[in-house]
Structure 1
Amino acid sequence: MIRATGITLRRGVKVLLDNTDFIVNPGERLGIVGKNGAGKSSLFALLQGELDLDGGDLSIPEVWKVASVRQTIPDRSRPAREFVIDGDERLRALQEARANTPDSDGHTIAELENALIEADTWSAPSRAEQLLAGLGFRPDQWMLPVQEFSGGWQMRLSLARALMAPSDLLLLDEPTNHLDLDAMLWLERWLVSYPGTVLLISHDTEFLDAVARSILHVDQGKLVRYKGGYNDFLAQRAERMQQSQIAYERQTREAARLQGFIDRFKAQATKAKQAQSRVKALARMQMVSPLREDSSVSIRLPSPDYTPDTLLTLNQADLGYPGQEKPILAQVRLMVRGGARVGILGMNGAGKSTLVKTLAGKLEPIHGERQEAKGLVIGYFAQHQLDSIDADATPLQHLARLAPDVREQELRNYLGSFGFSGDMVTSLTAPFSGGEKARLALSLIVWQKPNLLLLDEPTNHLDVDTREALATALADYGGSVLLVSHDRHLLRSTVDSFWIVADGQVQEFDGDLEDYRDWLLARSAQSRSEARQEARADSGADTTDRKAQRRQEAELRQRQAQQRKPLESRLKKVESTMEKAQLRLQELDTLMQDPDFYSDRYKDQRPALMAEHGELSKTHQTLEEEWLDIQEAMEEIGRQV
Structure 2
Amino acid sequence: MITLRNITLRRGVKVVLDDASATLQPGEKIGLVGRNGAGKSSLFALLTNRLGNDKGEVEVPKHWRRSEVAQDMPETEDGATDFVLQGDLPLVAARIALAEAEAAEDGHAMADAHAALADAGAFDARARAQALLMGLGFRNEQLDAPVNSFSGGWRMRLQLARALMCPAELMLLDEPTNHLDLDALVWLEAWLLRYDGTMIVISHDREFLDAITKVTLHLDEGKLIRYGGNYTSFETQRAERMVLQQAAFAKQQDRVAHLQKFIDRFKAKASKAKQAQSRVKALERMEKLAPVLASADFNFEFREPLNLPNPMLMFDEMAAGYGTTTIVRNIDRSVLAGQRIGILGANGQGKSTLVKTIAGTQLPLSGRMTQGKGLSIGYFAQQELDVLRLDEGALEHMVRLAREVGPQGREQELRDFLGQFRFTGDMVNQAVGSLSGGEKARLVLAMLVWQRPNLLLLDEPTNHLDLNTREALSMALNEFEGTVMLVSHDRALLREVCDEFWLVADGVVKPFDGDLDDYQKWLLEQSKEAARAAKKQSAAPAPKVVAAPTPAPSAPVDRKASGQARAKVAEQTRPLRKEMETIDKRMHALAEERAGIEAQLAEGAAASAIAEMGKRLKAIHDQLEADEMRWLELGEQIEAMTAA
TM-score range, shorter chain: 0.7 to 0.9
Residues 1:105 and 1:432: Cα distance change in structure 2 (over 3 Å): closer
Structure-2 residue corresponding to 1:85: 85
Structure-2 residue corresponding to 1:296: 297
Letter in 2 for 1:403: A
Q: Distance in 2 between matches of 1:71 and 1:636?
A: 38
Letter in 2 for 1:130: A
| 1:537 positional shift | 7.2
Residues 1:58 and 1:338: Cα distance change in structure 2 (over 3 Å): same
**Unpaired segments ≥5 residues, structure 2:** 546-580, 632-644
Q: Distance in 2 between matches of 1:462 and 1:629?
A: 57
Q: Distance in 2 between matches of 1:232 and 1:180?
A: 26
Asked if 1:276 is matched to 2:274, the reply is: no
Asked if 1:419 is matched to 2:422, the reply is: yes
Letter in 1 for 2:167: P
Q: Distance in 2 between matches of 1:527 and 1:636?
A: 33
Q: Distance in 2 between matches of 1:491 and 1:469?
A: 14
Structure-2 residue corresponding to 1:602: none
**Unpaired segments ≥5 residues, structure 1:** 543-551, 579-619
Structure-1 residue corresponding to 2:331: 332
Aligned identity (percent) is 49
| 1:73 positional shift | 5.5
Q: Distance in 2 between matches of 1:200 and 1:87?
A: 19
Between 176-185 and 305-314, report the one with greater CA deviation. Answer: 305-314
| 1:178 positional shift | 1.2
| 1:635 positional shift | 9.4
Residues 1:326 and 1:288: Cα distance change in structure 2 (over 3 Å): same
Q: Distance in 2 between matches of 1:268 and 1:103?
A: 94
Q: Distance in 1 between matches of 2:379 and 2:617?
A: 67
Q: CA contact under 8 A between 2:205 and 2:490: conserved in structure 1?
A: yes
| 1:376 positional shift | 1.0
Structure-2 residue corresponding to 1:344: 343
Letter in 1 for 2:97: A
Between 499-508 and 210-219, report the one with greater CA deviation. Answer: 499-508
| 1:390 positional shift | 2.8
The DSSP-based 3-state class of the residue aligned with 1:380 is strand
Structure-1 residue corresponding to 2:519: 516
Q: CA contact under 8 A between 2:112 and 2:614: conserved in structure 1?
A: no
Q: CA contact under 8 A between 1:31 and 1:208: conserved in structure 2?
A: yes
Letter in 2 for 1:380: Y
Structure-1 residue corresponding to 2:363: 364
Residues 1:104 and 1:375: Cα distance change in structure 2 (over 3 Å): closer
Residues 1:301 and 1:119: Cα distance change in structure 2 (over 3 Å): same
Letter in 2 for 1:501: V
Q: Distance in 2 between matches of 1:37 and 1:106?
A: 54
Letter in 2 for 1:200: V
The DSSP-based 3-state class of the residue aligned with 1:319 is strand
Structure-2 residue corresponding to 1:69: 69
- TM normalised by structure 2 equals 0.84
Structure-2 residue corresponding to 1:121: 122
| 1:72 positional shift | 3.2
Structure-2 residue corresponding to 1:310: 311
The DSSP-based 3-state class of the residue aligned with 2:172 is strand
Structure-1 residue corresponding to 2:261: 260
Q: CA contact under 8 A between 2:110 and 2:618: conserved in structure 1?
A: no
Structure-2 residue corresponding to 1:472: 475
Structure with bigger gyration radius: 1
Residues 1:253 and 1:533: Cα distance change in structure 2 (over 3 Å): same
| 1:240 positional shift | 0.7
Q: Distance in 2 between matches of 1:195 and 1:540?
A: 40
Q: CA contact under 8 A between 1:16 and 1:221: conserved in structure 2?
A: yes
Q: CA contact under 8 A between 1:9 and 1:18: conserved in structure 2?
A: yes
1:451-495 alpha-carbon deviations (Å, 9 max, x no partner): 110011111101111111111111111111001110001111111
- TM normalised by structure 1 equals 0.84
1:257-284 alpha-carbon deviations (Å, 9 max, x no partner): 1111222223333333322222222222
Structure-2 residue corresponding to 1:385: 384
Q: Distance in 1 between matches of 2:491 and 2:179?
A: 15
Q: Distance in 2 between matches of 1:181 and 1:244?
A: 39
Residues 1:460 and 1:73: Cα distance change in structure 2 (over 3 Å): closer
| 1:61 positional shift | 1.1
Number of matched pairs: 583
Q: CA contact under 8 A between 1:560 and 1:637: conserved in structure 2?
A: no
User: Paired residue for 1:491, among 476, 490, 494?
Assistant: 494
Structure-1 residue corresponding to 2:440: 437
The DSSP-based 3-state class of the residue aligned with 1:67 is strand
Q: Distance in 2 between matches of 1:457 and 1:337?
A: 22
Letter in 2 for 1:159: L
Structure-1 residue corresponding to 2:240: 239
Q: CA contact under 8 A between 2:74 and 2:147: conserved in structure 1?
A: no
| 1:75 positional shift | 5.6
Letter in 2 for 1:337: L
Letter in 1 for 2:515: D
Q: Distance in 2 between matches of 1:391 and 1:627?
A: 61
| 1:437 positional shift | 1.2
Q: Distance in 2 between matches of 1:498 and 1:519?
A: 14
The DSSP-based 3-state class of the residue aligned with 1:5 is strand
1:55-90 alpha-carbon deviations (Å, 9 max, x no partner): 111121111101111233666211111111111122
Question: RCO (CA 8 Å, sep 6+): is it higher in 1 or 2?
Answer: 2
Residues 1:632 and 1:145: Cα distance change in structure 2 (over 3 Å): closer
Residues 1:374 and 1:210: Cα distance change in structure 2 (over 3 Å): same
Structure-2 residue corresponding to 1:57: 57
| 1:233 positional shift | 0.5
Q: Distance in 2 between matches of 1:637 and 1:432?
A: 57
Structure-1 residue corresponding to 2:548: none
Q: Distance in 2 between matches of 1:39 and 1:135?
A: 28
1:160-179 alpha-carbon deviations (Å, 9 max, x no partner): 11111111111110001011
1:561-598 alpha-carbon deviations (Å, 9 max, x no partner): 9x98xx99x979x967x4xxxxxxxxxxxxxxxxxxxx
Q: Distance in 2 between matches of 1:392 and 1:560?
A: 66
The DSSP-based 3-state class of the residue aligned with 1:320 is strand
1:134-181 alpha-carbon deviations (Å, 9 max, x no partner): 111122221111112111111111111111111111111000101111
Q: Distance in 2 between matches of 1:146 and 1:168?
A: 27
1:328-384 alpha-carbon deviations (Å, 9 max, x no partner): 211212211000101111122221111111111221111111111111111111111
| 1:103 positional shift | 8.5
Structure-2 residue corresponding to 1:545: none
Letter in 2 for 1:470: L
Letter in 2 for 1:477: F
Residues 1:538 and 1:355: Cα distance change in structure 2 (over 3 Å): farther
Residues 1:219 and 1:509: Cα distance change in structure 2 (over 3 Å): same
Between 287-296 and 101-110, report the one with greater CA deviation. Answer: 101-110
Between 142-151 and 242-251, report the one with greater CA deviation. Answer: 142-151
| 1:303 positional shift | 2.0
Between 490-499 and 86-95, report the one with greater CA deviation. Answer: 86-95
Structure-2 residue corresponding to 1:613: none
Between 426-435 and 143-152, report the one with greater CA deviation. Answer: 426-435
Q: CA contact under 8 A between 1:103 and 1:109: conserved in structure 2?
A: no
| 1:48 positional shift | 1.0
Residues 1:253 and 1:138: Cα distance change in structure 2 (over 3 Å): same
| 1:533 positional shift | 4.8
Structure-2 residue corresponding to 1:177: 178
Structure-2 residue corresponding to 1:168: 169
Q: Distance in 2 between matches of 1:456 and 1:10?
A: 37
Q: Distance in 1 between matches of 2:199 and 2:44?
A: 12
Asked if 1:189 is matched to 2:193, the reply is: no
| 1:502 positional shift | 1.5
| 1:627 positional shift | 6.1
Residues 1:629 and 1:158: Cα distance change in structure 2 (over 3 Å): closer
Letter in 2 for 1:433: S
| 1:296 positional shift | 2.2
| 1:403 positional shift | 3.3
1:533-566 alpha-carbon deviations (Å, 9 max, x no partner): 5557793389xxxxxxxxx99x989x979x98xx
| 1:124 positional shift | 0.6
Q: CA contact under 8 A between 1:299 and 1:419: conserved in structure 2?
A: no
